[in-house]
Structure 1
Amino acid sequence: MSDWHLPALTATIRIIEVGGIAVIVLGIVGSTIAVLWQIASGRAPGDAFSVYRSNIGRAILLGLELLVAADIINTVAIEPSLQSIVVLAGIVLIRTFLSFSLEVEIEGRWPWDRHKKEARQEASM
Protein backbone atom coordinates (compact mmCIF):
# COMPACT_ATOMS: atom_id res chain seq x y z
CA MET A 1 0.00 0.00 0.00
CA SER A 2 1.22 3.47 -0.72
CA ASP A 3 1.87 5.97 2.02
CA TRP A 4 -1.51 7.68 1.90
CA HIS A 5 -3.76 4.58 1.81
CA LEU A 6 -3.32 3.50 5.43
CA PRO A 7 -4.05 6.93 6.98
CA ALA A 8 -7.01 7.40 4.60
CA LEU A 9 -8.47 4.00 5.50
CA THR A 10 -7.91 4.60 9.20
CA ALA A 11 -9.63 7.99 8.97
CA THR A 12 -12.52 6.46 7.02
CA ILE A 13 -12.96 3.74 9.63
CA ARG A 14 -12.94 6.29 12.45
CA ILE A 15 -15.52 8.44 10.63
CA ILE A 16 -17.82 5.44 10.18
CA GLU A 17 -17.37 4.46 13.85
CA VAL A 18 -18.13 7.99 15.02
CA GLY A 19 -21.14 8.00 12.69
CA GLY A 20 -22.42 4.78 14.25
CA ILE A 21 -22.00 6.15 17.75
CA ALA A 22 -23.62 9.44 16.72
CA VAL A 23 -26.61 7.61 15.23
CA ILE A 24 -27.16 5.74 18.49
CA VAL A 25 -26.74 8.81 20.71
CA LEU A 26 -28.81 11.14 18.51
CA GLY A 27 -31.45 8.44 18.12
CA ILE A 28 -31.79 8.14 21.88
CA VAL A 29 -31.86 11.90 22.38
CA GLY A 30 -34.37 12.41 19.53
CA SER A 31 -36.57 9.57 20.76
CA THR A 32 -36.53 10.96 24.28
CA ILE A 33 -37.54 14.41 23.09
CA ALA A 34 -40.27 12.91 20.91
CA VAL A 35 -41.73 10.78 23.71
CA LEU A 36 -41.73 13.71 26.13
CA TRP A 37 -43.48 15.82 23.49
CA GLN A 38 -46.07 13.09 22.90
CA ILE A 39 -46.80 12.72 26.61
CA ALA A 40 -47.05 16.51 26.99
CA SER A 41 -49.47 16.53 24.04
CA GLY A 42 -51.78 14.10 25.80
CA ARG A 43 -50.79 10.74 24.34
CA ALA A 44 -51.15 7.80 26.70
CA PRO A 45 -47.81 7.06 28.41
CA GLY A 46 -48.07 3.36 27.52
CA ASP A 47 -48.46 4.11 23.80
CA ALA A 48 -45.69 6.70 23.92
CA PHE A 49 -43.38 4.24 25.67
CA SER A 50 -43.99 1.61 23.00
CA VAL A 51 -43.07 4.06 20.23
CA TYR A 52 -40.07 5.19 22.31
CA ARG A 53 -38.72 1.65 22.58
CA SER A 54 -39.19 1.08 18.86
CA ASN A 55 -37.40 4.30 17.93
CA ILE A 56 -34.48 3.57 20.24
CA GLY A 57 -34.24 0.04 18.88
CA ARG A 58 -34.11 1.34 15.31
CA ALA A 59 -31.36 3.81 16.22
CA ILE A 60 -29.33 1.07 17.87
CA LEU A 61 -29.80 -1.24 14.88
CA LEU A 62 -28.60 1.41 12.44
CA GLY A 63 -25.67 2.32 14.67
CA LEU A 64 -24.67 -1.34 14.98
CA GLU A 65 -24.74 -1.72 11.20
CA LEU A 66 -22.31 1.17 10.83
CA LEU A 67 -20.03 -0.21 13.53
CA VAL A 68 -19.99 -3.63 11.87
CA ALA A 69 -19.13 -1.98 8.55
CA ALA A 70 -16.18 -0.21 10.19
CA ASP A 71 -14.98 -3.49 11.70
CA ILE A 72 -15.20 -5.25 8.34
CA ILE A 73 -13.21 -2.52 6.59
CA ASN A 74 -10.64 -2.57 9.38
CA THR A 75 -10.21 -6.35 9.20
CA VAL A 76 -10.17 -6.69 5.43
CA ALA A 77 -8.14 -3.63 4.49
CA ILE A 78 -5.83 -2.90 7.43
CA GLU A 79 -5.29 -6.05 9.52
CA PRO A 80 -5.91 -9.09 7.31
CA SER A 81 -4.63 -11.76 9.73
CA LEU A 82 -6.24 -14.96 10.93
CA GLN A 83 -6.55 -13.57 14.46
CA SER A 84 -8.29 -10.38 13.29
CA ILE A 85 -10.68 -12.42 11.12
CA VAL A 86 -11.59 -14.61 14.11
CA VAL A 87 -12.16 -11.51 16.24
CA LEU A 88 -14.29 -9.99 13.46
CA ALA A 89 -16.33 -13.19 13.22
CA GLY A 90 -16.99 -13.02 16.97
CA ILE A 91 -17.96 -9.37 16.80
CA VAL A 92 -20.27 -9.94 13.83
CA LEU A 93 -21.85 -12.94 15.57
CA ILE A 94 -22.54 -10.96 18.75
CA ARG A 95 -23.85 -7.93 16.85
CA THR A 96 -26.00 -10.14 14.62
CA PHE A 97 -27.58 -11.68 17.71
CA LEU A 98 -28.15 -8.21 19.15
CA SER A 99 -29.66 -6.99 15.87
CA PHE A 100 -31.91 -10.04 15.67
CA SER A 101 -33.05 -9.56 19.28
CA LEU A 102 -33.73 -5.86 18.74
CA GLU A 103 -35.69 -6.59 15.55
CA VAL A 104 -37.90 -9.03 17.45
CA GLU A 105 -38.41 -6.43 20.20
CA ILE A 106 -39.30 -3.68 17.73
CA GLU A 107 -41.61 -5.70 15.48
CA GLY A 108 -43.07 -7.89 18.22
CA ARG A 109 -42.79 -11.02 16.06
CA TRP A 110 -40.25 -13.36 14.54
CA PRO A 111 -38.80 -12.16 11.22
CA TRP A 112 -40.11 -15.24 9.42
CA ASP A 113 -43.67 -14.41 10.57
CA ARG A 114 -43.71 -11.18 8.54
CA HIS A 115 -45.53 -12.76 5.59
CA LYS A 116 -48.22 -14.16 7.93
CA LYS A 117 -48.99 -10.71 9.31
CA GLU A 118 -49.11 -9.19 5.83
CA ALA A 119 -51.45 -11.98 4.65
CA ARG A 120 -53.77 -11.34 7.60
CA GLN A 121 -53.83 -7.61 6.82
CA GLU A 122 -54.67 -8.27 3.16
CA ALA A 123 -57.42 -10.73 4.12
CA SER A 124 -59.03 -8.23 6.47
CA MET A 125 -59.32 -5.59 3.71
Structure 2
Amino acid sequence: MNFEDVISTVVRFVEAAGAAIMVLGGAAAILSSIPGMLRPTSRQGTYTALRTNLGRSILLGLEVLIVADIIRTILVDPTPQSVLVLGAIVVIRVLLSFSLEVEMDGVWPWARWRLGNTADRAPR
Protein backbone atom coordinates (compact mmCIF):
# COMPACT_ATOMS: atom_id res chain seq x y z
CA MET A 1 0.00 0.00 0.00
CA ASN A 2 1.51 3.31 -1.06
CA PHE A 3 1.11 6.82 0.35
CA GLU A 4 -1.77 7.81 -1.95
CA ASP A 5 -3.74 4.69 -1.02
CA VAL A 6 -3.31 5.39 2.70
CA ILE A 7 -4.36 9.02 2.31
CA SER A 8 -7.33 8.04 0.12
CA THR A 9 -8.44 5.62 2.81
CA VAL A 10 -8.07 8.30 5.49
CA VAL A 11 -10.10 10.73 3.34
CA ARG A 12 -12.87 8.13 2.94
CA PHE A 13 -13.01 7.67 6.71
CA VAL A 14 -13.15 11.44 7.30
CA GLU A 15 -15.92 11.75 4.68
CA ALA A 16 -17.82 8.90 6.32
CA ALA A 17 -17.43 10.63 9.69
CA GLY A 18 -18.83 13.88 8.25
CA ALA A 19 -21.81 12.09 6.74
CA ALA A 20 -22.36 10.12 9.97
CA ILE A 21 -22.31 13.32 12.00
CA MET A 22 -25.05 14.80 9.83
CA VAL A 23 -27.20 11.64 9.75
CA LEU A 24 -26.80 10.64 13.40
CA GLY A 25 -26.99 14.22 14.65
CA GLY A 26 -30.14 14.81 12.61
CA ALA A 27 -31.69 11.59 13.87
CA ALA A 28 -30.80 12.46 17.47
CA ALA A 29 -32.28 15.95 17.06
CA ILE A 30 -35.51 14.53 15.67
CA LEU A 31 -35.79 11.79 18.28
CA SER A 32 -35.11 14.17 21.15
CA SER A 33 -37.80 16.56 19.91
CA ILE A 34 -40.60 14.00 19.70
CA PRO A 35 -41.67 14.25 23.38
CA GLY A 36 -41.84 18.04 23.17
CA MET A 37 -43.83 17.92 19.94
CA LEU A 38 -46.42 15.71 21.60
CA ARG A 39 -47.11 18.35 24.27
CA PRO A 40 -49.14 21.24 22.84
CA THR A 41 -47.70 23.74 25.32
CA SER A 42 -44.10 23.19 24.26
CA ARG A 43 -44.41 22.71 20.48
CA GLN A 44 -43.10 26.14 19.46
CA GLY A 45 -40.00 25.92 21.65
CA THR A 46 -39.39 22.33 20.59
CA TYR A 47 -39.60 23.28 16.93
CA THR A 48 -37.04 26.05 17.43
CA ALA A 49 -34.72 23.69 19.31
CA LEU A 50 -35.11 21.05 16.58
CA ARG A 51 -34.16 23.53 13.86
CA THR A 52 -31.16 24.70 15.86
CA ASN A 53 -29.94 21.15 16.58
CA LEU A 54 -30.42 20.07 12.97
CA GLY A 55 -28.49 23.12 11.80
CA ARG A 56 -25.65 22.40 14.22
CA SER A 57 -25.42 18.81 13.01
CA ILE A 58 -25.29 19.93 9.40
CA LEU A 59 -22.68 22.62 10.14
CA LEU A 60 -20.41 20.21 11.99
CA GLY A 61 -20.74 17.59 9.24
CA LEU A 62 -19.92 20.18 6.56
CA GLU A 63 -16.82 21.28 8.44
CA VAL A 64 -15.57 17.70 8.64
CA LEU A 65 -16.26 17.23 4.92
CA ILE A 66 -14.24 20.36 4.16
CA VAL A 67 -11.32 18.79 6.06
CA ALA A 68 -11.59 15.71 3.84
CA ASP A 69 -11.61 17.87 0.69
CA ILE A 70 -8.55 19.79 1.85
CA ILE A 71 -6.63 16.60 2.67
CA ARG A 72 -7.51 15.10 -0.70
CA THR A 73 -6.54 18.19 -2.64
CA ILE A 74 -3.27 18.86 -0.84
CA LEU A 75 -1.96 15.32 -0.47
CA VAL A 76 -3.57 13.20 -3.19
CA ASP A 77 -4.23 15.41 -6.21
CA PRO A 78 -2.39 18.75 -5.95
CA THR A 79 -3.14 20.03 -9.46
CA PRO A 80 -4.23 23.59 -10.26
CA GLN A 81 -7.62 22.27 -11.37
CA SER A 82 -8.18 20.37 -8.11
CA VAL A 83 -7.19 23.45 -6.11
CA LEU A 84 -9.77 25.52 -8.04
CA VAL A 85 -12.41 22.85 -7.44
CA LEU A 86 -11.50 22.84 -3.73
CA GLY A 87 -11.82 26.63 -3.65
CA ALA A 88 -15.27 26.45 -5.23
CA ILE A 89 -16.36 23.72 -2.80
CA VAL A 90 -15.11 25.69 0.19
CA VAL A 91 -16.85 28.88 -0.98
CA ILE A 92 -20.13 27.01 -1.51
CA ARG A 93 -19.89 25.33 1.89
CA VAL A 94 -18.96 28.58 3.64
CA LEU A 95 -21.99 30.30 2.10
CA LEU A 96 -24.16 27.37 3.15
CA SER A 97 -22.72 27.50 6.67
CA PHE A 98 -23.30 31.25 6.81
CA SER A 99 -26.93 30.88 5.73
CA LEU A 100 -27.48 28.09 8.28
CA GLU A 101 -26.04 30.29 11.04
CA VAL A 102 -28.41 33.11 10.07
CA GLU A 103 -31.31 30.66 9.91
CA MET A 104 -30.54 29.22 13.35
CA ASP A 105 -29.88 32.54 15.11
CA GLY A 106 -32.41 34.65 13.25
CA VAL A 107 -29.95 37.53 12.92
CA TRP A 108 -26.89 38.40 10.89
CA PRO A 109 -23.63 37.34 12.60
CA TRP A 110 -22.55 40.94 13.07
CA ALA A 111 -25.86 41.73 14.83
CA ARG A 112 -25.75 38.97 17.45
CA TRP A 113 -25.40 41.54 20.20
CA ARG A 114 -29.08 42.32 19.58
CA LEU A 115 -30.04 38.90 20.90
CA GLY A 116 -29.37 40.12 24.42
CA ASN A 117 -27.41 37.92 26.80
CA THR A 118 -24.92 36.05 24.63
CA ALA A 119 -22.86 34.76 27.56
CA ASP A 120 -24.80 31.49 27.63
CA ARG A 121 -24.40 30.92 23.88
CA ALA A 122 -21.70 28.52 22.73
CA PRO A 123 -18.90 30.30 20.86
CA ARG A 124 -18.74 29.63 17.13
Give 2:52's aligned residue.
Answer: 54
Q: What amino acid is aligned across from residue 24 of structure 1 in structure 2? A: M
Q: CA deviation at 1:42?
A: 5.7
- The 8 Å contact of residues 17 and 64 in structure 2, kept in 1 or not, is answered as yes
Query: In the alignment, is residue 94 of structure 1 matched against residue 73 of structure 2?
Result: no
Q: Any residues of structure 2 matched to 1:73-88 within 5 Å, and which?
A: 73-88=71-86
Q: 1:22 aligns with which of 20, 34, 50?
A: 20
Distance 1:73 1:43, change over 3 A: farther
Q: Which has the larger radius of gyration?
A: 1
Percentage of identical aligned residues? 38
Distance 1:121 1:32, change over 3 A: closer
Return the TM-score normalized by structure 2: 0.87
**RMSD between superposed Cα atoms in Å:** 1.7
For structure 1, which runs of at least 5 residues remain unmatched after alignment?
none
Distance 2:41 2:50 in 1: 12
4+ runs of 1 displaced by more than 6 Å? none
Give 2:114's aligned residue.
Answer: 117
Distance 1:51 1:16 in 2: 28
Query: In the alignment, is residue 6 of structure 1 matched against residue 18 of structure 2?
Result: no
Q: Any residues of structure 2 matched to 1:29-44 within 5 Å, and which?
A: 29-40=27-38, 43-44=41-42
For structure 2, which runs of at least 5 residues remain unmatched after alignment?
119-124
Q: CA deviation at 1:117?
A: 3.2
Q: What amino acid is aligned across from residue 117 of structure 1 in structure 2? A: R
Distance 1:98 1:121 in 2: 26
Return the TM-score normalized by structure 1: 0.86
Q: CA deviation at 1:73?
A: 0.4
Number of aligned residue pairs: 118
SS in 1 for 2:117: helix
Distance 1:43 1:10, change over 3 A: farther
